[in-house]
Amino acid sequence: MNLVRDLLTLSVGLAFATRLHAADLIAPELQIEQAVDHYVQSHLTERQVHPAPPADDGALVRRTVLDLQGRIPTIAEAKKYIESTEPDKRLKLVDGLLASPDFAYQFRNQLDDLLMSGQKGNHNEWREYLLKAVRQNRTWDQMFRDMLIGNEDDPETKAATTFVRVRAKELDELTNETSTIFFGVNVSCAKCHDHPLVDDWKQDHYYGLASFFQRTYVTKKNLVAEKFAGEVKFKTTKGEDKVARLMFLTGTIVDEPVVEVSADERKQRDEEVKKQMQDDKAGPITKPPFSPRAKLVEIALQSGNDQLFAKAIVNRVWAMFLGRGLVHPLDQMHSANSASHPELLDWLARDLISHKYDLQRLVRGIVLSQAYARSSEWSGSTASPSADLFAVALIRPLTPRQYSMSLRMASAAPETYKPESTGDEWQKRRDELERNCEGFAHQFEQPGENFQVGVDEALLFSNSSQVADDYLRDSSDRLIGAIRPETDKSKQITAAYWAILTRPPSGEELAACEQFLDKRAEPVAGLRQMVWALLTSPELRFNH
Amino acid sequence: MAHANSSFCGSSDHGVSRRGFLGRTVFAGATAFAANMRVMDALKNPCLAAELKRQQKSVILLWLGGGASQFETWDPKPGRLTGGPFRAISTDIPSVQISELMPKMAQRLKTTAIIRSLNTRNADHGGGTRLMETGRAMEQAVDYPDLGALIARELGRADSQVPDYVSMYSETEGRHKGGAGFLGARYAPTFLTESMIPPNIRRPDSMSEIDHQERADLQKLLAKRFADKRYDPSVASHGMAYERVRGIMASEKLFDINMEPQSARDFYGPTQFQEQCLIGRRLVEAGVPFVKVARAWWDSHGQNFETHLELCADLDQGMSALLDDLQQRGLLESTLVITLAEFGRTPHINASLGRDHFASAWSCTLSGCGIKGGAVYGKTDEDGHKVVDGEMKSGDLFATIFEALGIDHNKEYYVGARPIPIVDFGAKPAMEVLA
């Protein structure tokens, strides 16, 4: 009886683990952006919602550069786009940005935030691995393999297994973060009890997934290793003691090959693990013939099981650029929380799998869609439409790194930074910028769901010497120093608006700033105050 | 003001309800701000202040970082092998004795309930701290807020002009900022470590008051154009954060102990902990809902008795002065004082005359608001090895704290679609210690 019930639950529950019939989706040959706009538009039509108009050129180039380069555009970059009359200028912009050195830095940072947020310490080799992976456009399934079962003897993939290394001490952390990040499924509820709201997740799922990691440990030499044996035991809610089976989230169970081991051998293996954990001079690790982690990777990517893996990353990439997942929250892919656009999620997952998990292709398609390019202003007389319709561009807080880098560029003398310069020159500059911005970035919180700006941040900007002496410095390499010699106040104001907000001031803004400057007894102090008011604008703090 | 006067001093129907401010969302900025200014003005008027005091509830957490010994404080075992050299003394509650290291508190148990039955199972500094700060075991993928953030959320005003969670942690042992978790940065602590005043609260010397103000006005004016056309809570929180700057800056004086008469400073005593207790009272009086004063170096693996001789004197003086002062000002009935650590210390006395980490049977106290003074909750065995009556987990303690403050411990927050109870699943308040 129980078996029948379990099977029923599994087949009913796992909406995200299965896919719709191919015949129900629009053609696979379509461009990603076409599919996106088809499905998003059909929902809008169904609800009779008219979306916001497209963002103007200035707003769009700013948004796209922030997303694909991790910084605001320079004035030259922005004006080039705004003034261009080429019909395919947007396509050229996006392809140019994807091919530029900055993209690798930005996408690396996004992946780092996704994979390592909340992990303390500097992980330089890890960040180098990610950067290189993005530059080579390493596919997502390859990266997943690198991170979970990379070869510890190869320095490159050893850097990738940092993902496991930093979490290996806590089985729950390793289990649940692997699950939320790669499968979009937060099973932590099911640790103590079957999920109260969702039939999908039973204790068997949680402990089944944990079983794949149970034998993982870190040696004294800081290498990720696996024991020969070990299983997860747990108490069911009914109080029975149970040994978990190796079970993937879809219910696929692995039976480990049975190998007879003598008591002596077992003892010897235990001794070796002990030695590896305590002795930094221990010899090479003996690898067990059966690796549960390798098995997990194999099963998760198997056709039939790969839907969770594909949909989770599609959903996360979508959310990076659109401000909200097709499934929201991002770690709640289960049958009680359906996608806003289920067909689109299926189409994109199918497309991703059939293009070998090429993430950059996915990024390009999303960024070229109309849904991405809408205005973030809602001026209709009706209330702002529900966020899951993507009828108006959603506001996204800058990440700490984006913010720090944008502040540095906005407060610099115009033309300090020249991303258009060829050869290695700009890449070196960008590398330097990344490092210089790290310190300030650390003072901000990584934006998550329901992000709020705290008063600490406003106090930091209002009163710290750091902001006054750096961003607002009156020297020739800073914005203040560059616009100070100008005698026409309206020109000073206009220059500051372009440098910081990528647009000219409106008439009202110009008047307000002029009036402000006129009242100042000390002109340079006045300029610094006005520039401060622009640097602290929400228009710089958010991508919009 | 005349209007505000009549409503404060007249019928209670018109009284300012602190809870009333909570219902407003950040979007109701203008109205809430105006209302709040009335509160600020009210503090200058003794009659209004008295009305407000009755309704504003606050918490002061005295945090004994490193883990204080229950034997040398609230649960002595004189004459037992585990008891150590100190005596137990009588208190103002006839049936209750505490360690002789706490003589002043022994005369003030009428304000205080002792809980002697904490069994929290985590005797690791990091884990124990998180457990006792958040009231629940750490769980992957849910970032739980700590007590300060929960109280700031429950008792603070959305647009408060004072910080609503101040955490003073001058010593380095076990220093931990804690945080607002899923409640968001709005409820993150103002964290004081190196200095007695919060970072960036003081206007830069290079700027005049008027320039600072007018610069902020310009910022607000220019920001408005952007924010008005975009309905987004994160953008709103940005505006609110900048709007709070001036008020928070004005609260700098609250941290300035020199503004207290010498007699008050003498009353609390000269140590940093005692001075911070006094700052805690100043903050609570001004409407700060949660203040944490950390006093570290309790981790007495060696020389437990000498350590406690010194540190208990500091605690006894600071805590008793704080309770007396709050009482004299009529603030004790609305202020809950919690004296807590991450865990207690072992019954076993080790070879270095120390006591090690112990989370199976230890103590804490609750004083003031909503608490039945003189109550003793729970019991350990005669050597203090285990709890024999009224076992309390961290979640139960949190449930008790919330109920003492009039906050329903069954309340739930939502993180996405997931309901998160304000206290751990199954946690229950100890009704016996509630007034």
CATH number for the domain spanning B397: value is 3.40.720.10
**Contacting residues of B for A332, CB less than 8 Å apart:** 416-418
**Contacting residues of A for B211, CB less than 8 Å apart:** 520, 525, 529
In angstroms, the CA A216 to CA A499 distance is: 51
Tell me which of B32, B55, B78 is where a domain ends: B55
- Judge if A404 and A527 occupy the same domain: yes
Which backbone phi and psi does A416 adopt, to 5 degrees? -65, -40
In angstroms, the CA A352 to CA A368 distance is: 16
- Judge if A8 and A136 occupy the same domain: no
Owning domain of residue B42: 1-55
Considering chain B, what is the average pLDDT of its residues? 87
What band does B54 get if pLDDT is binned at 50, 70 and 90? very low
Residue A533 and residue B418: Cβ atoms within 8 Å?
A: no
Facing residue for A337 by CB, picked from B223, B415, B417: B417
- Judge if B66 and B132 occupy the same domain: yes
- Judge if B49 and B76 occupy the same domain: no
Contacts of A154 (CB under 8 A, 6+ apart): none
**Contacting residues of A for B226, CB less than 8 Å apart:** 537-539, 544
* pLDDT score at B26: 34
- Judge if A514 and A428 occupy the same domain: yes
- Judge if A370 and A401 occupy the same domain: no
Residue A451 and residue B190: Cβ atoms within 8 Å?
A: no
In angstroms, the CA A348 to CA A369 distance is: 13
Residue A512 and residue B221: Cβ atoms within 8 Å?
A: yes
- Judge if B192 and B51 occupy the same domain: no
Tell me which of A245, A280, A301 is where a domain ends: A301
- Judge if A156 and A215 occupy the same domain: yes
- Judge if A183 and A279 occupy the same domain: yes
Residue B200 and residue A459: Cβ atoms within 8 Å?
A: yes
Contacts of A145 (CB under 8 A, 6+ apart): A297
- Judge if B283 and B347 occupy the same domain: yes
* B235–A contact, CB cutoff 8 A: yes
- Judge if B48 and B182 occupy the same domain: no
Q: Which helix (H) or strand (E) holds B224?
A: helix B209-228
SS3 B415: strand
Which backbone phi and psi does A94 adopt, to 5 degrees? -65, -45
- Judge if B300 and B315 occupy the same domain: yes
pLDDT in tens, A478-536: 999 999 999 999 999 999 999 999 999 999 999 999 999 999 999 999 999 999 999 99
**Contacting residues of B for A541, CB less than 8 Å apart:** 238
- Judge if A152 and A236 occupy the same domain: yes
* B249–A contact, CB cutoff 8 A: yes
Indicate whether B193 pLDDT > 50.
Answer: yes
Nearest CA in chain B to A337: B417
Q: Could you tell me if A451 and B234 are in contact, meaning their C-beta atoms sit under 8 angstroms apart?
A: yes
* pLDDT score at A14: 60
Q: What is the ipTM of this complex?
A: 0.92
Residue A332 and residue B221: Cβ atoms within 8 Å?
A: no
* B211–A contact, CB cutoff 8 A: yes
Q: What share of chain B is helix, strand, coil (3-state, %, to 5)?
A: 40, 15, 40
What band does A198 get if pLDDT is binned at 50, 70 and 90? low
pLDDT in tens, A142-158: 999 999 999 999 988 89
- Judge if A358 and A487 occupy the same domain: no
In a domain, B226, yes or no: no
* pLDDT score at B184: 87
**Burial of A457 (C-beta count, 10 Å sphere; 0-12/13-18/19+):** buried
DSSP B102-134: -HHHHT-GGGEEEEEEE-----SHHHHHHHHHH
Residue B222 and residue A534: Cβ atoms within 8 Å?
A: yes
- Residue A45 DSSP code: H
Residue A452 and residue B202: Cβ atoms within 8 Å?
A: no
Facing residue for B140 by CB, picked from A173, A532, A534: A173
* pLDDT score at B33: 34
Mean pLDDT lowest for which of A341-345, A385-389, A519-523, B53-57? Answer: B53-57
What is the number of structural domains in chain B? 2
- Judge if B23 and B87 occupy the same domain: no
* B103–A contact, CB cutoff 8 A: no
In a domain, A447, yes or no: yes
Residue B417 and residue A450: Cβ atoms within 8 Å?
A: no
SS3 B89: strand
In a domain, B72, yes or no: yes
Tokens of B62: 């005295």
Facing residue for A449 by CB, picked from B230, B248, B416: B416
What band does B17 get if pLDDT is binned at 50, 70 and 90? very low
Residue B218 and residue A516: Cβ atoms within 8 Å?
A: yes
Chain-centroid distance of CA B112 in Å reads 15
Owning domain of residue A24: 2-54+304-376
What band does B140 get if pLDDT is binned at 50, 70 and 90? low
Q: Could you tell me if A66 and A78 are in contact, meaning their C-beta atoms sit under 8 angstroms apart?
A: no
Q: What is the mean pLDDT of residues B303-330?
A: 98
Nearest CA among A540, A529, A502, A496 for reference residue A404: A540
**Contacting residues of A for B420, CB less than 8 Å apart:** none
Could you check whether the bond before residue A329 is cis, i.e. omega within 30 degrees of 0?
Answer: yes
Could you tell me the CA-to-CA distances from A541 to A400, A449, A464 in Å, in that order? Answer: 10, 16, 18
> Which residues, in sequence order, are bridge partners of residue A216?
A226
How near does any CA of chain B get to the CA of A306, in Å? Answer: 23
* pLDDT score at A421: 85
Q: Could you tell me if A153 and B106 are in contact, meaning their C-beta atoms sit under 8 angstroms apart?
A: no
SS3 A281: coil
* B152–A contact, CB cutoff 8 A: no
Q: What is the mean pLDDT of residues B120-129?
A: 92
- Judge if B81 and B136 occupy the same domain: yes
Nearest CA in chain B to A193: B425
What band does A224 get if pLDDT is binned at 50, 70 and 90? very high
Residue of A462, A464, A471 best to disrupt the B interface, most CBs of B under 10 A: A462
Q: Could you tell me if A90 and A57 are in contact, meaning their C-beta atoms sit under 8 angstroms apart?
A: no
Torsional class of B99: left (φ above 0), alpha (ψ -120 to 50), beta (otherwise):
beta
Tokens of A41: 């538009």
- Judge if B353 and B409 occupy the same domain: yes
Nearest CA in chain B to A529: B215
* pLDDT score at A195: 65
What is the number of structural domains in chain A? 3
pLDDT in tens, B145-190: 999 999 999 998 776 788 999 999 988 888 988 889 999 888 999 9
In a domain, A535, yes or no: yes
Q: Could you tell me if B131 and B340 are in contact, meaning their C-beta atoms sit under 8 angstroms apart?
A: no
Q: At what angle do helices A101-116 and A400-410 cross, to 10 degrees?
A: 140
Residue found under tokens 């540190």: B311
In angstroms, the CA A344 to CA A30 distance is: 12
Facing residue for A451 by CB, picked from B190, B234, B417: B234
- Judge if B43 and B68 occupy the same domain: no
Tokens of B187: 């409820």
Residue B200 and residue A456: Cβ atoms within 8 Å?
A: yes
**Burial of A168 (C-beta count, 10 Å sphere; 0-12/13-18/19+):** middle
In angstroms, the CA A530 to CA A515 distance is: 11
In a domain, B43, yes or no: yes
Residue B416 and residue A379: Cβ atoms within 8 Å?
A: no
In a domain, B237, yes or no: no
In angstroms, the CA A97 to CA B190 distance is: 40
Evaluated on CA atoms A169, A172, A173, A179, the torsion sign reads positive
In angstroms, the CA B429 to CA B406 distance is: 12
* B330–A contact, CB cutoff 8 A: no
Residue A509 and residue B225: Cβ atoms within 8 Å?
A: yes
Residue B204 and residue A468: Cβ atoms within 8 Å?
A: yes
Residue B417 and residue A336: Cβ atoms within 8 Å?
A: yes
- Residue B333 DSSP code: G
Residue A544 and residue B206: Cβ atoms within 8 Å?
A: no
DSSP A344-403: HHHHHHHHHHHTTT-HHHHHHHHHTSTTTTB-S---SSSPPPPGGG--SPPPEEPPHHHH
Cβ-based neighbour number of residue A238 at 10 Å: 6
**Interface contacts A/B by beta carbons within 8 Å:** 171
Contacts of B73 (CB under 8 A, 6+ apart): B98, B99, B101, B102, B308, B312, B315, B363
* pLDDT score at B55: 63
Residue B235 and residue A512: Cβ atoms within 8 Å?
A: no
What band does B201 get if pLDDT is binned at 50, 70 and 90? very high
In a domain, A80, yes or no: no
- Judge if B140 and B29 occupy the same domain: no
* pLDDT score at A427: 92
How near does any CA of chain A get to the CA of B118, in Å? Answer: 22
**Contacting residues of A for B244, CB less than 8 Å apart:** 455, 458
- Residue A73 DSSP code: P
- Judge if A267 and A400 occupy the same domain: no
Residues 166-205 of chain B whose Cβ lies under 8 A from any Cβ of chain A: 182, 184-186, 188, 190, 198-204
In a domain, A10, yes or no: yes
Tell me which of B36, B55, B74 is where a domain ends: B55
**Burial of A39 (C-beta count, 10 Å sphere; 0-12/13-18/19+):** buried
Residue B218 and residue A176: Cβ atoms within 8 Å?
A: no
**Contacting residues of A for B212, CB less than 8 Å apart:** 462
Q: What is the mean pLDDT of residues B412-429?
A: 88
In angstroms, the CA B96 to CA B73 distance is: 12
More confident residue, A331 or A93: A93
Tell me which of A301, A317, A341 is where a domain ends: A301
Tell me which of A242, A271, A301 is where a domain ends: A301
Contacts of A382 (CB under 8 A, 6+ apart): none
> Which residues, in sequence order, are bridge partners of residue A227?
none
Residue A175 and residue B227: Cβ atoms within 8 Å?
A: no
SS3 A334: strand
In a domain, A267, yes or no: yes
Torsional class of B333: left (φ above 0), alpha (ψ -120 to 50), beta (otherwise):
alpha
More confident residue, A238 or B31: A238
Tell me which of B11, B37, B55 is where a domain ends: B55
Nearest CA in chain A to B245: A459
Which backbone phi and psi does A139 adopt, to 5 degrees? -75, 160
Tokens of B318: 């600071």
- Judge if A151 and A273 occupy the same domain: yes
- Judge if A162 and A270 occupy the same domain: yes
* pLDDT score at A9: 39
**Contacting residues of B for A391, CB less than 8 Å apart:** none
In angstroms, the CA A328 to CA A249 distance is: 19
Diameter of chain A measured on Cα atoms:
90
- Judge if B100 and B66 occupy the same domain: yes
